[in-house]
Structure 1
Amino acid sequence: LKSEIDKDIKEDYQYTQDQIEVAKQAYKEFMKLEEKQLIDDERVFREIKLMYAEYFTGGMGAEAIKEMLVKLDCHAETEKLRKILKKARGQKKTRAIKRLKVVAAFDNTDNRPQDIVMEAIPVIPPDLRPMVQLDGGRFATSDLNDLYRRVINRNNRLKKLLDLGAPEVIVNNEKRMLQESVDALFDNGRRGRPVTGPGNRALKSLSDMLKGKQGRFRQNLLGRRVDYSGRSVIVVNPKSLRLTHLNRYLLSL
Structure 2
Amino acid sequence: MTKKRILQIDKVNTHIVEWLKSYAEKSKVNGFVIGISGGVDSAVTSALCAQTGLKVLCVEMPIHQAHSHVTRGREHIEQLKKQFSNVSSIEADLTSVFEDFKKQVPETSDEHKLHLSLANTRSRLRMTTLYYFAGIYGLLVAGTGNKVEDFGVGFFTKYGDGGVDLSPIADLMKSEVYELGIYLKIPNSILMAAPTDGLFGDERTDEDQIGASYDELEWAMLLTDSEITTNVFTEREKEVLKIYKKLNQNNQHKMNPIPVCTINC
TM-score (norm 1): 0.24
Flag the structure with higher strand content. 2
TM-score (norm 2): 0.23
Structure whose CA Rg is larger: 1
